[in-house]
A and B are shown apart, each in its own frame.
Chain A
Amino acid sequence: MQWHGDEAARHSELDRVSIAAAAALNSPPTRCTRLLTRDDEASVFSRLRRRILRSVLRQLWQESSLRAALITFLTISFWLIMFVLFHEGFGLLRTAVTHPPTLARAVHAVYNVFFLSLLLMLSVSAGILYYAAIYKSPEVNLLLTLPVHASRIAAEKFIEATVLACWGFVLLGSPLLVAYGMVNQTPWGYFALLLPLLISFAVIPSAIGALACLSLVAIAPRYRSAAVGVLGICLLGVFLYLVWIVFGHGQQEPMTALWLQTTLARLRLAEQRVLPSWWLSTALLELAHGGPAGVFQAIGFQCVLLSNALFLPRVVALVGGLTLRRSYGQLSHGTNLSLPIRAGFIDRALNQLLRPMSPTTRLVLIKDLRLFRRDPLQWSQFLLFFGLLSFYFVYVRRFDYGVQLTGWMTAIGFMNLGVVGLILSTFTTRFVFPLISVEGQRFWILGTAPVNRRDILWSKFIFASSITCLPCCLLVLLSDIALQLWARTPAMVVTHQLICVLLSLGLSAMAVGLGARLPNLREPSPAKIAAGFGGTLTLILSAVFVIAVIVPPAVPAYLMYSTSHLAVLPGSISRTPEYWFVGALAASIGITGLAAWLPMRMGFRAFTEMELL
């Protein structure tokens, strides 16, 4: 019996084991196995994770040390930039608000809201990641056939989802809190407890998300309509409550004592003492300003956070143990087999609308839009981010801005544009960048078809820019209306729309081009493709592009409507900002052209030469 390869080499290895093997091949089945205890199972999985981690690190070091070094360098750079920004911000706040109790109260309120927002966002994010990790993973298909407790599988997947959901939180939260500690010269205990507090806190929303996911999936297949209805009613209730909080008050002039008091009163929602976000913010501020008594209080809060962080994953494992096998079977092996999916009205309309395009571009474009529409994971995150932003823009409208604040309104308008651009850059990196890699795994379909590969790439670009452009333009328009810019400076509204289109085109081209130039054809998960080297590089370059396109016109635009001058700028800009504004806008168009052309060119070349695997 032979398989393949060189016989001589094989036989030397065969000799080594032949005696044992020959004996075993002819012996009856024996019972040399046993069922593992829960602790044993944990050890086996721990060994497995260690082996995988070791393998990944070794591979990264041996095969792509430059890539590893670049990722480390970029991560550290990102952390340092965030730290400097937060440090400057807290420094400014400290000099602006001279009354320490007011400052402490304001910081506490902001922390409460910040961590409550993170609590909600991490819960949603972890819930989605947990769903993908447990119900869409082929690994679970293997594990469920092994003699392992379902609760252990649920626990292992919870760890995976938590790490994926929370690393960004720790990366973003740590420079903020370290900067606060350094500006306020907090005692060393603050820094010592920072990481344990953050990690303990991060586990809690992750567990809430995982529990919600398990419960929903366990209930949904049988009571799908009821579950969706209840969830819808809950979300509607939360939305109406938030609307009442935001709109249930009259308009106020910002930056006044009354405005501060009212704002703090509105933020009391985040001060509920049952909320883990309140425990965290209180612990941090007690450590920073509470003296020795504060340290004891902070340790108390750390114990509360830690006990919850230890307890809730147990509940996840317990619920997973009870529901996983049944819900996995119901969900993963098709409960919708009887529901035929037909080409919808949208597809037919698009087919007509896109007639002027080449048939290849049109077909690939419609296919991509169809996949996008049928994958709620993609549009739900987009919807969530943009929903939150819309809410913020509408909230901004509640303030009464005097005419003298036009300069500031212009600046805030550009800042909002920047936020939209940065969120768009995460979207294009997360969802557009992996498009070619995912296509690459099924590349034989398009690769063997009589189509021009350049058309495929064009269709990806058109797909990405078309689904990003319209919502972004609408969102920025909403922001401008909220800031009353339409009535003050319509030219700025038009400028913002133009920049929005530039951002959409540039970011889409970068994601498509770099996605084709740096594909990961082995990884089936788009999330993991986006988290790799190519995705990280695209994200960073996209962020640089957003800044490069927005900042040049933003500065002269601010100067055009502001009475103050920025001392750091050359006098010519302050004297003739209009000319500089037009020049900067032209530069933004040029930068967009370059940022779109270069990656697309690289992408075309790489994609044309790509081989079928």
Chain B
Amino acid sequence: MIRVENVHKAYGRKIAVADLSLEVRPGEVFALLGANGAGKTTTIKMLVGLLMPDAGQLSIGGFDVVRQTREASHLVGYVPDQPYLYDKLTGREFLAFIADMYGMPADAAQQALDEQIARFELHEFADRLTETYSHGMKQRVVFAAAFVHRPQVVILDEPMVGLDPHSMRVVKDLLRQQAQLGTTIFMSTHILSLAEEIADRIGVFHDGRLQFVGTVDELRRTRQRDGASLEKLFLELTSPASSPRE
């Protein structure tokens, strides 16, 4: 569903992503791990069409993200790390705008809005202007917006930032549930326990390079550290002593 082939991206002299190749299957939860500045957000921004790669190809559902951006983003629901909502719209109006953008017919859009409002329990504030929302409320509306058009791929950049423990639980359950229904989940996170709990596979980024791709168990086997926590394995992989692959 998501295919990344030999992608390279640099900001001036700084290499943000180097020779990245990756494939994520339908119904899979994939978590991208890495320290700050490792290249996770750059990868996500390339996948959602906010950045263009200097070299290589990215495709979603068979659509080239650079050449067929609209077709690719039509399949995607995106939860950014810094959500943007129109201050002068209510949460419900914002969701309606997103449904309109994805060309949903009026009745299907109405049904989808009701579903998302119920799912994320937005009914208490859905008809208030979003400028009055707390960060957590905004984050929940952004989640609802990402799911309103029933996307085949959901891309999340640090999805748990600003959520309370209840909300985190809801999101975790939701992501697993959607994956079981065939939705591809691609997320970046600093929370290793989240990746360990819900991801089918993880990718560990370090200095713009993917150091490892596979399950947590595979990582343990590769590093010959049975029973080691993901935190320990991650720190070993991303320590300064661990030199990037060429």
Contacts and interface: CB of A to CB of B under 8 A. Distances in A.
B88 A56 contact: yes
A101 interface: no
A398 B6 CA distance: 66
A332 to B, nearest CB: 8
A148 B103 CA distance: 10
A148 B84 contact: no
Contacts of B210: none
Interface string A286-319: 0000000000000000000000000000000000
A98 interface: no
A32 B104 contact: yes
Contact of A51 (B93, B105, B182): B93
B119 A25 contact: yes
Contacts of A144: 48-50
Contact of B129 (A26, A27, A55): A55
Contacts of A4: 124, 164, 166
Given A27-B181, A33-B103, A325-B49, A338 B14 contact: yes
B158 interface: no
Interface stretch (B167-175, B188-196, B201-209): B167-175
Contact of A17 (B114, B151, B182): B114
B103 A335 contact: no
B151 to A, nearest CB: 7
A1 B169 contact: yes
Interface string A8-40: 011001101110110011111110111110001
A9 B69 contact: no
B131 interface: yes
B49 A145 contact: yes
A523 to B, nearest CB: 8
B12 A338 contact: yes
A528 to B, nearest CB: 11
B100 interface: yes
B69 A325 contact: yes
A14 B118 contact: yes
B54 to A, nearest CB: 10
A145 B48 contact: yes
A21 B115 contact: yes
Interface stretch (A134-142, A408-416, A573-581): A134-142
A526 to B, nearest CB: 16
A18 B14 contact: no
Contacts of B11: 333-335, 337-338
Nearest to A14: B118
A28 B102 contact: no
Interface in B87-128: 87-90, 93, 97-98, 100-105, 108, 111-112, 114-115, 117-121, 123-124
A437 B242 CA distance: 46
A611 to B, nearest CB: 16
A491 interface: no
A32 B69 contact: no
Interface in B139-153: 140, 149-152
Contact of B101 (A13, A25, A44): A44
B177 interface: yes
A146 B86 contact: no
Interface string B1-31: 0000000000111100000000000000000
B73 A147 contact: yes
Nearest to A339: B12
Nearest to A2: B166
A489 B11 CA distance: 60
B186 interface: no
A548 to B, nearest CB: 37
B51 interface: yes
A138 B50 CA distance: 12
A329 interface: yes
Interface of B: 11-14, 42, 45, 48-52, 69-71, 73-74, 76, 78, 80, 82, 84, 86-90, 93, 97-98, 100-105, 108, 111-112, 114-115, 117-121, 123-124, 129, 131, 140, 149-152, 164, 166-167, 169-170, 173, 177-178, 181-183
